[in-house]
Amino acid sequence: MDFRRLETAELSGKTALVRVDFNVPRKDCGSISDDTRIQAALPTIKAIRAAGGKVVLLSHFGRPKGETKPELSLSFLLPVLEEHLGETIGFTDGFDPSAITENITLLENTRFQPGETKGDEALTKEWAKLGDVFVQDAFSVSHRDHVSSAGLAKFMPAYAGLATERELDHLAQALENPAKPVLGVVGGAKVSTKIDLLSNLVEKLDMLAIGGGMANTFLAAQGYPVGKSLCEHDLAETALEILKAADKAGCRILLPIDVVAATDFAANAPHRVCGLNDVAPHEMILDAGPETVNGLADAIDRAKTLIWNGPLGAFEIEPFDTSTIEAAQYAAKRVKNNDLIAVAGGGDTVAALKHAGAAQDFTFISTAGGAFLEWMEGKELPGVEILRPKKGEA
């Protein structure tokens, strides 16, 4: 997609307001348990400093819901950022431009302000006084029409940070201008949470494999017994409509052709592989069977691009993680052989691919969650729309 990139911004002598995602997980002792989001922001901060610009960092942390809560203050990040960046980091509540005395300044938790999540214009104007350009480097919140994720672009030019740029380039590679054929793998518990996603993908993909609990709804809609399986029987008509739309669009749907059925949802519960017509009333489907995995591997062989969202079975408990592990590892192997572009993200996807030991070999894995899903659903993201060049803009 076409968007304003950081390399095109005039930064020398300017102050950039940079939206980052520092909503990092912390241990009980207060230390950061995973600094992936901090590491992701460093290249953009360093690039702005190298270009002669100052930086004001904006991020939320936790769910303060418009209240100032000391335990959710971002002050704990100051020593961490100073260690990574080798500079003194300033700290401000964002209402006094004269407080921006350091080359890098961290703004207090944006969601301490009730107007932040409402896109309040008065708050937007106050924060806009702190800088000259806006840099959106938190794709994870780009689906939010908040002051710090989109609103600031009303009062200053907006550019994609390097992390957001990487995300958008890979998503475009997977869905906007993909190498064909394109295969989608969508798993998870419920069809109800992914109706928009499935409806959009069948219009864009050549093949779509549906797994996890949501596959049970499609099987039941076609008349197969699913026993005590997780299944949204009330969405049978919706499932059939999605299948019809796929057929009309020329998208081949891949559903399980055999399943792993068990009597209990528990690790190593008694289980068996059976055909679609053989699931007993007291059994539940907890994974796809080996023939289904073989069929998915064949589809992966034919594909040039793979988009993956969600696990294929109850991957949290053994041995019902088998289909997810085998399919993910097979896809990763093809990526390593330069035969496949594989992009994944959303929900439990990252955890599932890490569990499979395949995450590091995928072309790109988004940790954006909701923003990734809304992008895949074909929705406009406020924090992305602000980056598009205006009509007549070079």
Positions annotated as catalytic residues are 37, 190, 347, 370
Q: Which residues does residue 71 pair with via DSSP β-bridges, in sequence order?
A: none
Residue 366, SS3 per DSSP: strand
Which pair of structure tokens corresponds to residue 178?
């993909």
DSSP 27-87: -TTS-BS--HHHHHHHHHHHHHHHTT-EEEEE---S--TTS--GGG-GGGGHHHHHHHHSS
Q: Which residues does residue 56 pair with via DSSP β-bridges, in sequence order?
A: 17, 105
Rounded Cα distance, 332 and 315, in Å: 17
Q: Which phi and psi angles does 275 have, rounded to 5°?
A: -75, 170
Q: In the chain, count of helices (H) and strands (E)?
A: 12, 15
Nearest partner of 240 among 227, 255, 230, 257, judged by Cα: 255
Residues 6+ apart with CB under 8 A from 354: none
Upper half-sphere CA count for residue 367 (Cβ side, 13 Å): 15
Count CB atoms within 10 A of the CB of residue 351.
Answer: 13
